[in-house]
Amino acid sequence: MSINSFECKPGSLRPWLDYLASLNPSHIELGLGRVSKVLDLLNLDFKNSLVIEVAGTNGKGSTAALIAANLTLAHIKTGLYTSPHLWTFNERVMVDGHKACDDELALAFKQVYDVAQYNKIPLTYFEYTTLAAFVHFANCGCEALVLEIGLGGRLDAVNVLDADLCVITSIGLDHTKILGSSIKDIAHEKAGIIKDNAQVLLGLMDSEALDVIKDCAEEKHAFIYQDGTDFKASFEDKTYFDDLDKKFSLTLSLPKIPEICVACVIKALLLIEEKFSDKVRFKFDINKVNETLNTVSLPGRMQKINSHPDVYLDVAHNPPAALHLAKVLQKHKVIGLRHALIGMLADKDVESVLKIVKDSFDDFYLASLHTDRGENCVRLKNALLSLGVLPSKIHCYDKVSLALEDLYKNAHSDDEIIILGSFVTVSEAYKP
């Protein structure tokens, strides 16, 4: 399918998204060769901009959003790129907290498409979207770019830019068919975002992952700062951040922001003030940090969409995310019953996720997902039964909408509903 095969009005985003969909967005083709060529031909110059790349198995989206929000509060024009989106493509590309409009994205796509087609360089769905985001940020004159790595790191299209500050939030087993089946393999892919002489922030992770990343950083002559060693945050009796001679009190109301993000976010902001004053004028302000910690969130991360009963969306889809969710729910008490609506993809560690969350809920409404990678609710049911959950507590549905319909019928006003397991599940359950 060619974009020229139908009428594409200059301000129309829909034809471009249809064209991208024809490129098979579910197909993942990692590599930097194609995107690097098009980037050079686009003649985009970010040498004077602060570039921050955020990778990790969990927490990277929230970390990126919080860093970007603090830069924006400091009146630094900031572009934020995240993926995937839940409801509208525009969620992926933001400047100063505002989603790019259809006209702006259509223009960016046209710039990328014209260059790629003229030079006969085929691009994938994610390469198009990443380059279009870069074009939009350049068109807006962004002083800082905060970029969430989509998958892995080393060969992800986002990694085509040289980052000044590299953040790796966590390392866990996810996307194993693509990134590798061991923690070492995945750590190697994530560490691929580290550039020569870069500042590198590491979240809490085990020694196996840490050793791999440290070796990579040493090869690149990069400077490492590690959560738990060089800085830390406490969430026990007193909530605070401690960075050697600096200590700040925090006000953090869960469950808006994952705790694993907080320490890296604050250290990143301190490093921006200390190391990158030649690129951005940023002054660290703990009051503004606390403001963003309690107001900034990404769609689908413990996002409340209804009251009486309270309904939350959470895209937890792997064991580390499930552990965080279970911790949040333990702290977040409910008067009535707590119901789970779960739909998952077939290539996820379904059994481990359900084992982690099974004690957090009174019953389970399981839905089949009808996508290329969607899992049937029968597998989820069998996993829960093997974990000792009573059959009377399990309800199976062919669609998310049917499960949600029954939940609303059966739940009382003081109950709580958590919708989780996949971006697909959350997007099907709620349309803003």
pLDDT digits (tens, 9 = 90+) for 158-199: 989 999 999 998 886 554 454 445 788 788 888 889 999 999
Answer yes or no: are the C-beta atoms of 55 and 149 closer than 8 Å.
Answer: yes
In this structure, how many other beta carbons lie within 10 angstroms of the beta carbon of residue 236?
6
Residue 225, beta-bridge partner list: 201
- What's the one-letter identity of residue 6? F
The ranges assigned to domains in the chain are 3-295, 303-429
pLDDT digits (tens, 9 = 90+) for 311-352: 999 999 888 889 889 988 988 889 999 999 999 999 889 999
292: tokens are 């963003």
Q: What pLDDT shows up at residue 85?
A: 87
Q: Is the pLDDT of residue 234 over 80?
A: yes
Q: Is the pLDDT of residue 414 over 50?
A: yes
| Residue range 303-429 in CATH 3.40.50.920 | no
Average confidence (pLDDT) over 216-230 = 92
Q: What pLDDT shows up at residue 5?
A: 42
Name which residue leads in pLDDT, 261 or 368: 368
Q: Is the pLDDT of residue 278 over 70?
A: yes
Which CATH topology does 3-295 take?
Answer: UDP-N-acetylmuramoyl-L-alanine:D-glutamate ligase (3.40.1190)
Residue whose token pair is 């004690």: 359
| pTM (two decimals) | 0.89
Sheet strand arrangement including 50-55: 98-99, 93-95, 78-81, 144-148, 50-55, 165-168, 199-202, 223-226
Residue 374, beta-bridge partner list: 345
Residue whose token pair is 């970010």: 46
Q: Exposed, middle or buried: residue 43 (CB in 10 Å: 0-12, 13-18, 19+)?
A: exposed
Q: Is the pLDDT of residue 151 over 50?
A: yes
Answer yes or no: are the C-beta atoms of 347 and 177 closer than 8 Å.
Answer: yes
Q: What pLDDT shows up at residue 30?
A: 62
Q: Is 252 helix (H, G, I), strand (E, B) or coil?
A: coil
Q: What pLDDT shows up at residue 186?
A: 83
Q: Is the pLDDT of residue 154 over 80?
A: no
Average confidence (pLDDT) over 60-86 = 95
User: Rounded to an integer, what distance in angstroms lies between the CA atom of residue 360 and that of residue 340?
Assistant: 9
User: Rounded to an integer, what distance in angstroms lies between the CA atom of residue 288 and that of residue 427?
Assistant: 31
Q: Which helix (H) or strand (E) holds 379?
A: helix 377-386
In this predicted structure, which of 238-242, 322-326, 352-356, 362-366 has the lowest mean pLDDT? 238-242
Mean pLDDT value across the chain: 89
Q: What pLDDT shows up at residue 4?
A: 46
Q: What pLDDT shows up at residue 384?
A: 97
Q: Exposed, middle or buried: residue 331 (CB in 10 Å: 0-12, 13-18, 19+)?
A: exposed
- What's the one-letter identity of residue 431? K
pLDDT digits (tens, 9 = 90+) for 4-33: 444 454 458 999 998 888 886 455 566 788
User: Rounded to an integer, what distance in angstroms lies between the CA atom of residue 316 and that of residue 329?
Assistant: 13
- Where residue 192 falls (left for φ over 0; alpha for ψ -120 to 50; beta otherwise) is alpha
Q: Which helix (H) or strand (E) holds 352?
A: helix 350-357
User: Rounded to an integer, what distance in angstroms lies between the CA atom of residue 250 and that of residue 262?
Assistant: 10
Percent pLDDT > 70 in the chain is 91
